[in-house]
Amino acid sequence: MKTVFVDVDTQIDFLFPAGALYVPGAVRLLPAIARLNHFAAAQGIPLISTTDAHTEDDPEFREWPPHCVAGTTGQLKPAETLVGAGQTIVEKQALDVFSNPDFPGLLDRVAADRYVVYGVATEYCVRCAILGLLATGKPVALVTDAIAAVNPEEGARTIAEFTARGGTLTTVSEVTS
């Protein structure tokens, strides 16, 4: 059974309180994200890290404060989330990673039997990723102690929607043991 980890938008602007679009509490996820990504590298588990990479006048900024502008520090991933070999960074300009036309081809190449997903924010980019991956027909597990929501009630609603569609819930210790 080939597992692929999907690390969603764990970028400086979202993870740190001084970031342009901080997800409340997300800074506390950093050790968990680092542990998951390094576990993937050590075990030879393919790791897909999605990243927002916006232009300065990106249309998304009509709805959201400017964030993750390509070329800025805030767009970068924290060093502890970068593991090198086996990690593929996928850039996107919208909430949904499936908006990147190369993403489906990447999924074909990694040929996962199962996805393990974590990152931010639960009810936005993580939601797009988990529902899109479920729609590929493969099992998807969401790491509940390695996600953070902008609005906790919306986050809980997303988790309920995901499990109602057949997604499963897991934890950092469960996937790294």
Interface with Zn ion (CB under 5 A): 52, 60
Query: In angstroms, what is the minimal distance from the CB of 169 to Zn ion?
Result: 26
- Alpha-helix residue ranges (DSSP H) falling in 67-171: 103-110, 127-134, 152-164
What phi and psi values does residue 96 have, to the nearest 5 degrees? Answer: -90, 120
Q: Which is nearer to Zn ion, 72 or 176 (CB)?
A: 72
Q: Which is nearer to Zn ion, 93 or 171 (CB)?
A: 93
Q: Which is nearer to Zn ion, 53 or 146 (CB)?
A: 53
Distances (CA, A) of 49 to 41, 57, 157, 166: 12, 24, 24, 23
Query: In angstroms, what is the minimal distance from the CB of 45 to Zn ion?
Result: 26
Instruction: Identify the CA nearest to 53 among candidates 12, 110, 7.
Output: 12
Query: In angstroms, what is the minimal distance from the CB of 18 to Zn ion?
Result: 17
> Cβ-closest residue to Zn ion?
52
